């Protein structure tokens, strides 16, 4: 196979007036439309050429009716997970979905009762943090421990909280702190969950965006016993910048858990496929690996530049180099002290009004995010 032509990740593509959340919702989100948006987790890079070509070919057929999930959809997922992550999954284990967040909501409703405990590791992706209380469940927070080298799990607290839980929602790799969980960490969490019959819901949407020498490992791949207690959720959306196509999937080996999700999907009318999302997933997983390899190189350069900038300049902001994702978790607590910023709202206003940046306030990721901001580096340098 000939080498993949170089991808120009320096190209600036205007996104205004395309119905783009990141740019066209700035006034609503930040109170002004001129901030530089480095918040919501999509990238400012064009999707791979292979995806663009496949979509153009499908658009050329002028009927966009209801779609099925063809064999190629399932085999593309199987091949991608096997080659990219060394995880062999059965076709029967794959459940197509319209998105990871809708699936998490369905699963919380289907697998737990009012008042049941749901364990999450804060700071964490806001929809995960909000899920338990949104559905009348008990929020159990296992706050991660911040160290100069990165975030670690508070094992004493995890052991206490998991005994009170019905479900554990694991973000792997973790958003926003950028951790790639090691095998020993995954095994320890899973073993504790098994001991208390806790079902593990795993959000692996950032699994492809891991920087060497780190390697993503799916917790469900550790053993058959663990897999039987896991529901793994994934999508090509972050990897190939196609989040707007609303196409995801679950991997569920346990037939009872799989039937539960199938029923929930059908009863809520969420079982239909997006004709363009299906097309894009197949093209991306079949042909997108060379593009992704170049993307990872660019994202690593972006990450290292920004981390280096904050390291070399005393701005009152510190950041630990993330092991995965194109998101940086900025510790702004010293900055708040220096500028006498009274609270998280004042910190957000500082970035909007003084720096001209639209970022995600850390407090939206849970109480441990107070004094932090999340910055998106998935953009041309």
Give pLDDT tens digits for 193-206.
Answer: 999 999 999 999 99
* Residue of 296, 283, 309 lying closest to 206 (CA atoms): 296
**Angle between helical axes of 126-134 and 100-111 (0-180°, round to 10):** 30
pLDDT of residue 335: 98
> Can you give the C-alpha Rg of the chain in angstroms?
21
* Paired tokens of 320: 């630990």
Q: How far is CA 110 from CA 75, 116, 297, 323, in A?
A: 28, 12, 40, 33
* In a shared domain, residues 30 and 175: no
pLDDT of residue 1: 52
Residues 42 and 60 in one domain: no
**One domain for residues 35 and 175:** no
pLDDT for res 74: 99
Q: What is the pLDDT of residue 4?
A: 77
Residue 12 counted as domain residue = no
Ranges of residues in the chain with a pLDDT under 50 are: none
pLDDT digits (tens, 9 = 90+) for 71-127: 999 999 999 999 999 999 999 999 999 999 999 999 999 999 999 999 999 999 999
Q: How far apart are CA 171 and CA 207, in angstroms?
A: 10
Q: What's the predicted TM-score (pTM) here?
A: 0.97
In a shared domain, residues 296 and 361: yes
Task: Say if 7 falls within a structural domain.
Answer: no
Are 240 and 338 in the same domain? Answer: no
Q: Which structural domain, as residue segments, surrounds residue 213?
A: 56-287
Please give the tally of structural domains in the chain.
2
Q: 300 and 281, same structural domain? A: no
Which of 247, 269, 287 terminates a domain? The answer is 287
The domain boundary, picked from 226, 259, 287, lies at 287
Q: Any idea what the CATH number is for the domain that residue 338 is in?
A: 3.90.1150.10
Do 124 and 193 lie in one domain? The reply is: yes
- Looking at residue 67, what is its pLDDT? 96
CATH number, domain with residue 256? 3.40.640.10
Helix (H, G, I), strand (E, B) or coil at 331: strand
**Which residues pair with residue 151 across a beta bridge?**
146
Angle (nearest 5°) at CA 200 between 284 and 174:
55
Q: What is the pLDDT of residue 2?
A: 57
């Amino acid at each position: 196979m000939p080498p993949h032509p170089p991808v120009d990740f320096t190209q600036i593509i205007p996104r205004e007036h395309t119905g783009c959340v990141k740019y066209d919702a700035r006034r609503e989100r930040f109170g002004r439309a001129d901030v530089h948006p480095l918040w919501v987790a999509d990238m400012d890079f064009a999707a791979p050429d292979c995806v663009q070509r496949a979509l153009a070919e499908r658009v050329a057929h002028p009927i966009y009716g209801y779609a099925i999930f063809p064999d190629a959809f399932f085999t593309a997922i199987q091949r991608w997970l096997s080659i990219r992550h060394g995880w062999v999954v059965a076709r029967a284990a794959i459940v197509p979905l319209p998105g990871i967040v809708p699936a998490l909501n369905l699963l919380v409703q289907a697998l737990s009762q009012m008042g049941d405990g749901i364990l999450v590791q804060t700071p964490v992706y806001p929809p995960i943090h909000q899920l338990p209380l949104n559905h009348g469940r008990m929020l159990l927070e296992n706050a991660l421990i911040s160290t100069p080298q990165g975030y670690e799990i508070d094992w004493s607290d995890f052991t206490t909280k998991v005994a009170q839980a019905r479900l554990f929602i694991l973000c792997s790799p973790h958003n926003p702190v950028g951790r790639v969980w090691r095998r020993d960490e995954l095994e320890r969490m899973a073993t504790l969950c098994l001991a208390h019959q806790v079902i593990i819901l795993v959000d692996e949407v950032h699994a492809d965006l891991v920087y060497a020498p780190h390697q993503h490992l799916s917790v469900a791949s550790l053993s058959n016993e663990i897999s039987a207690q896991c529901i793994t959720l994934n999508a090509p959306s972050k990897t190939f910048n196609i989040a707007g196509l609303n196409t995801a999937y679950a991997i569920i080996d346990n037939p009872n858990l799989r039937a539960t999700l199938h029923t929930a999907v059908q009863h809520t009318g969420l079982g239909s496929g997006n004709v363009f999302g299906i097309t894009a997933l197949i093209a991306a997983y079949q042909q997108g690996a060379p593009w992704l390899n170049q993307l990872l190189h660019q994202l690593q350069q972006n990450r290292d530049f920004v981390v280096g900038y904050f390291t070399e300049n005393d701005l009152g902001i510190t950041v630990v180099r993330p092991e995965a994702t194109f998101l940086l978790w900025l510790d702004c607590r010293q900055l708040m002290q220096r500028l006498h910023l009274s609270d998280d709202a004042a910190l957000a206003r500082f970035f909007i009004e003084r720096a001209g940046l639209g970022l995600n306030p850390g407090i939206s990721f849970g109480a441990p995010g107070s004094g932090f901001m999340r910055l998106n580096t998935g953009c041309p340098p």
